[in-house]
Each structure stands twice: as structure tokens, then as C-alpha cells.
């Protein structure tokens, strides 16, 4: 029996509203997951995501994301297990999705695949000497050096499942090979096929502990912008979509148009009766596009990252709060949001905080950006259910 229950509430054309129930928590899709990489959403108290004082009349946010790679390195999955799991460790009473850490491993820097050196996307590199190989990939494992202290580590498909079980994750992801953006098709195909073999190993390992584990496991479709490879990946991985399926390898350097081409190609080929998770997509326009093509779950660091750098979503495009025109602007970021920031503070005050490098600026803008996205989704769901 599947632990994750997925019930249709309404579907019109490609778009849909479904209900997910897992581990005693029920939520409606489509849903955006705020990213709490290191067991925290940067600068925020998690209670704010479920308190009407901060999110207005929105339903409580019930699903957030954490990062397996970073939590494995610090403070360590075994320590979190001793603490009673990630929920108790960070005091969160709803659901947590953990990514596999594959994206982070393969973004560390120069890596070797069968002794062939492969550079990552420059924006994803952690820096360092361009000739310093930080990752070694083989059929059995990927070895890497910690970006914190240079210590050596190894991930296997089975080991990453075990790490996420130690974290007591609700939704876990398989270890995949995230090919560098703009990679040669032969490289992408080879690494996609390794992702498939690793997925098989991960699910065979997880099947033995499915009933005892808290969480469920999703496969990740790869193939970058090569649509024939995407088709091959879906064909292979759909057999493992017991509780849901993810689409990865987008937003890694390709254009917005190519991302949308992938979204429009894959959606009708994915299992229709399971949650569909589009990874690393987080702008309002990209989320709305993907919803119209049947995707249910989204995550991205963009809302909080933009907030920390003084940028806010608004109905009229992003607001860069450091611009001088906001110095005497005594209006809220947007009148339609309803978040704590918009109800209590003006652009002039936020301009002042940001200019003075007060940490409160990043907190208030991050909260606004998260609520703004959630508001868009909630308004869309309510209108959709009336149709």
C-alpha cells in the first residue's frame, strides 16, 4: 500500500488541483516549497510560514525543502537522527522534502568521468583552482571534497537513501547525475543512463525498508534539453514512480524558452496519477506556465535569495528596493499580497533598512517573496475550482 495518497479534486485540460496526504498531513497542489537548505529558511522562523499574522489569510504552508548534501556534511545525518529527525531538530510540524544532493555534488567544480575532465556551469561552481578536480564519478559512486574543509566523502545511490531516512524525510529524491548545462549530447546521454541505473539500485534498496521508513522516494527524469533523451528517461523511470516523479536538469544554464520546451514535452508523458515535481523553478511566470502543463510541485531558492539582495516580487515586475525612487515611497510593495511586510511597512522603510544593511530587510523581503508566490498559487486554485 502506498504511503502517499493523491486524490484528484479537479482537472481541466492539462491543469489540475489534487490533494496529497502523507504522514497525517494533507495539502492541495499546485504547491511551492520554500527552500530550507541547512534546516532553516534563511533569516526566518519557520512558525512564520503557518501564522496568519505573517502570511495573511493563506492556508498554512505545509511542505518545505531541505538539502541532503549540506545536512550530511554539517551537522551530519547521524546527529539529526539522534535529535529525533529533521522535524524535531528544526521544530517543524509539517512535511519536508529532501533533495538527493546530486545537484550540489556535481556543482562543486571540475570533475572526472572515466578520467575525462568535465567543467560545471560557471554560475554553479563553488570556485577554487580551475585545475583542481573536486569530484570523481564511477559506476559505483561519486567521491567529492567538502566545500567546508576539503575532507573526502562518497555518495552511493543506496547511501543517499539511508542518509535521507536518517533525516526522517517525508519525500526523498534519488541520487542522480546532474549533467553540466550545455553539455555534449553524448555526455548527457551517458550520465542519464547512469542516473537510471542508480535509480534502480536506490529503489531496490529502498523497497526493503519502505514500510519502516517515514518517507517516500521519487525518481528524477534527466536528459537536459534533448527531448528524445527526456522520452527515454521517462520511459525507464516511470516504473519507479510509485509515489511521485520529478523532472530535474532544468534551470542549469539553458534559456527560459528551452526550459518551457522541456516542460511542454514531458508533461503528457509523465504518469498522470502521481504528483509531478518540477525542480528548481521559482519565478511567478515560470510556475504559472508549468501549472498549465500539469505540474504540481515546485521549489527554488530564488524568493529568499532575491529578498536577501533587496529584490521583491510585485504585480508590476520585480522591485529593486535600493533604487533612489523608493526613498520617499510610502506605499507597500504590493497591495494584493497581504503578508506581514506589505501590511506593516512601506517601500521607504525597506529602502532604509536595505541601505543600512540591516538584516531585517532581507527577512521582510524574503517573507514577502514566499507569500507572494503562495498567494498567486492560492488565487489560481480558488479560481480554478470555481470553473
Q: For position 133, what pLDDT does the model report?
A: 55
What architecture does CATH give domain 31-98+158-300? Answer: Alpha-Beta Barrel (3.20)
Which three cell numbers, joined as nine digits, stand for 81?
537522527
Q: For position 106, what pLDDT does the model report?
A: 81
Query: 367 CB contacts (<8 Å, ≥6 apart)?
Result: 44, 48, 54, 307, 339, 340, 341
How far apart CA 154 and CA 177 sit, in angstroms, is 14
Which three cell numbers, joined as nine digits, stand for 368?
514577502
Q: For position 122, what pLDDT does the model report?
A: 39
Q: What is the pLDDT along the chain (387 residues), one digit of tens a residue?
A: 789 999 999 999 999 999 999 999 999 999 999 999 999 999 999 999 999 999 999 999 999 999 999 999 999 999 999 999 999 999 999 999 999 988 888 877 655 555 455 555 433 333 344 445 578 889 999 999 998 998 999 999 999 999 999 999 999 999 999 887 677 899 999 999 999 999 999 999 999 999 999 999 999 999 999 999 999 999 999 999 999 999 998 866 678 888 899 999 999 999 999 999 999 899 999 999 999 999 999 999 999 999 999 999 999 999 999 999 999 999 999 998 999 999 999 999 999 999 999 999 999 999 999 999 999 999 999 999 998
Domain(s) labelled CATH 3.20.20.105 in the chain stretch across 31-98+158-300
Q: For position 40, what pLDDT does the model report?
A: 96
Give the residue among 241, 234, 231, 239 at the shortest CA–CA distance from 275.
241
Which three cell numbers, joined as nine digits, stand for 111?
570533475
**Three-class SS state of 142:** strand
How far apart CA 50 and CA 41 sit, in angstroms, is 13
**Three-class SS state of 356:** coil
Q: For position 110, what pLDDT does the model report?
A: 52
Please give the positions annotated as active site.
99, 299
Beta-strand relationship, 276-278 and 297-299: parallel
Q: Any bridge partners for residue 66, and if so which?
A: 98
**Three-class SS state of 217:** strand
Q: Cis before residue 332, ω within 30 degrees of 0?
A: no
Q: Cis before residue 75, ω within 30 degrees of 0?
A: yes
Q: For position 363, what pLDDT does the model report?
A: 98
Amino acid at each position: 500500500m502506498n504511503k502517499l495518497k493523491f486524490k484528484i479534486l479537479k482537472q481541466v485540460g492539462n491543469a489540475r488541483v489534487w490533494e496529497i496526504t502523507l504522514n497525517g498531513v494533507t495539502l492541495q497542489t499546485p504547491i511551492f516549497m520554500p527552500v530550507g537548505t541547512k534546516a532553516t529558511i534563511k533569516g526566518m522562523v519557520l512558525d512564520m510560514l503557518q501564522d496568519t499574522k505573517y502570511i495573511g489569510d493563506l492556508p498554512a504552508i505545509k511542505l518545505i525543502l531541505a538539502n541532503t548534501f549540506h545536512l550530511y556534511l554539517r551537522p551530519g545525518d547521524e546527529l539529526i537522527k539522534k535529535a529525533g529527525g529533521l522535524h524535531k531538530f528544526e521544530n517543524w510540524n509539517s512535511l519536508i522534502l529532501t533533495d538527493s544532493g546530486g545537484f550540489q555534488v556535481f556543482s562543486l567544480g571540475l570533475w572526472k568521468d572515466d578520467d575525462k575532465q568535465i567543467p560545471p556551469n560557471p554560475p554553479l561552481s563553488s570556485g577554487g583552482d580551475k585545475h583542481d578536480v573536486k569530484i570523481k564519478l564511477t559506476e559505483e559512486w561519486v567521491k567529492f571534497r567538502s566545500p567546508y574543509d576539503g575532507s573526502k566523502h562518497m555518495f552511493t545511490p543506496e547511501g543517499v537513501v539511508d542518509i535521507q531516512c536518517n533525516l526522517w524525510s517525508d519525500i526523498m529524491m534519488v541520487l542522480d547525475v546532474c549533467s553540466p548545462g550545455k553539455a555534449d549530447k553524448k555526455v548527457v546521454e551517458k550520465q542519464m543512463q547512469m542516473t537510471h541505473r542508480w535509480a534502480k539500485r536506490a529503489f531496490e534498496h529502498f523497497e526493503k525498508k519502505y514500510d519502516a521508513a517515514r518517507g517516500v522516494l521519487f525518481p528524477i527524469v534527466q536528459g537536459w534539453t534533448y527531448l528524445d533523451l527526456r522520452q527515454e528517461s521517462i520511459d525507464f523511470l516511470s516504473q519507479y514512480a510509485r509515489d511521485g516523479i520529478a523532472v530535474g536538469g532544468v534551470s542549469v544554464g539553458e534559456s527560459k524558452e528551452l526550459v518551457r520546451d522541456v516542460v511542454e514535452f514531458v508533461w503528457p508523458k509523465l504518469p498522470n496519477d502521481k504528483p509531478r515535481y518540477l525542480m528548481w523553478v521559482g519565478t511567478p511566470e515560470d510556475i504559472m506556465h508549468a501549472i498549465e502543463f500539469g505540474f504540481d510541485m515546485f521549489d527554488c531558492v530564488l524568493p529568499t535569495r532575491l529578498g536577501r539582495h533587496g529584490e521583491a516580487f510585485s504585480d508590476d515586475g520585480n522591485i529593486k528596493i535600493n533604487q533612489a525612487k523608493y526613498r520617499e515611497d510610502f506605499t507597500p510593495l504590493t497591495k494584493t499580497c497581504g503578508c506581514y511586510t506589505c501590511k506593516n511597512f512601506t517601500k521607504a522603510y525597506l529602502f532604509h533598512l536595505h541601505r543600512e544593511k540591516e538584516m531585517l530587510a532581507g527577512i521582510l523581503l524574503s517573507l514577502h517573496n514566499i507569500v507572494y508566490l503562495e498567494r498567486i498559487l492560492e488565487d489560481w486554485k480558488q479560481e480554478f475550482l470555481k470553473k
